[in-house]
Amino acid sequence: MLKVEPIPAFQDNYIWAIHDGRCAAVVDPGEAAPVERFLAQKGLALGAIVITHHHGDHQGGVAELLAAHPRTPSGEAMPVLGPVRERIGGRTQALREGDVVTLAEPALTLRVLDVPGHTAGHIAYVGDLGEAGTAVFCGDTLFASGCGRLFEGTPAQMLASLDKLAALPSDTRVYCAHEYTRSNVRFARAVEPGNAALAAWEDRVAALREAGEPTLPTTIGHERMVNPFLRSREPAVRDAVAAQGGSTDSDAAAFGALRGWKDNFR
Ligand code: ZN
Ligand code: FE
């Protein structure tokens, strides 16, 4: 039975640990120290390192983790999974859309999706976690009620990447890499003040954060209802973009205007 647990890092990052009670794969370890503390606390060995994109807050801890854990418990070289189109230090498997990776420790199969936009080579991993359901580890592409900034990609690329994620089964759990939900929801409410599901989610997010709990994972089905960046073709969202003076001439233009609005939203 696989479990997914958050390892908080930096201000608002989550490093996700996927483990079977014995061995853990860690996703986007931007720093090593919190990972080491987590492994020691839970009595887990490290079995794999999984990277979504090249930013330092996602791969900064890889070298230190590799130095401390060069091999898996069964003696294999530590697998380091990462996108083929980006520089990932220590990478052992360079991945692209359609690749399927089967890890031994923990026993886990991950399917790769190309999701460019935040960075040019960003990938996401879809995993079947058995009783824990289907999960997507999407780094800084899709956030709860938001999406990543377009540092290296175009609005059209990011829209296509989010469309791909939105097409996953609705019960797919979304494990993104930052706790940005509260500010994302504040923006989402400005875009869609009449969205009742979003209003209810705002209350739930406030309660979770006041209790010191993560707002993640969310699900693809939930995101389709509350995330303006998965809803940029909805008439209400289009009207809101137009009211801000944004272009709605095409899907990509409307999405780009929505993203630009968020970039300047306080
Ligand atoms: Zn990033
Ligand atoms: Fe990040």
Q: What is the CATH number of the domain that holds 86?
A: 3.60.15.10
Whether residue 99 lies inside any domain: the answer is yes
Whether residue 8 lies inside any domain: the answer is yes
CA distance 50 to 56: 14
Which of 19, 54, 58, 122 is flagged as catalytic?
58
DSSP secondary-structure letter at 117?
S
Domain total of the chain: 1
pTM above the 0.85 mark? Answer: yes
Residue 118 Cα to ligand 1 midpoint, Å, equals 7
Whether residue 55 lies inside any domain: the answer is yes
pLDDT category at 263 given cuts 50, 70, 90 is very high
Q: Which domain holds residue 36?
A: 3-180+215-226
Following DSSP, what letter does each residue of 168-228 receive, concatenated? S-TT-EEEESB--HHHHHHHHHHH-TT-HHHHHHHHHHHHHHHTT-----EEHHHHHHH-G
pLDDT at site 265: 97
Determine which of 103-112, 123-132, 167-176, 193-202 has the lowest per-residue pLDDT on average.
123-132
Residue 115 Cα to ligand 2 midpoint, Å, equals 14
Report percent pLDDT > 90 for the chain.
97
Which of 19, 28, 54, 57 is flagged as catalytic?
57
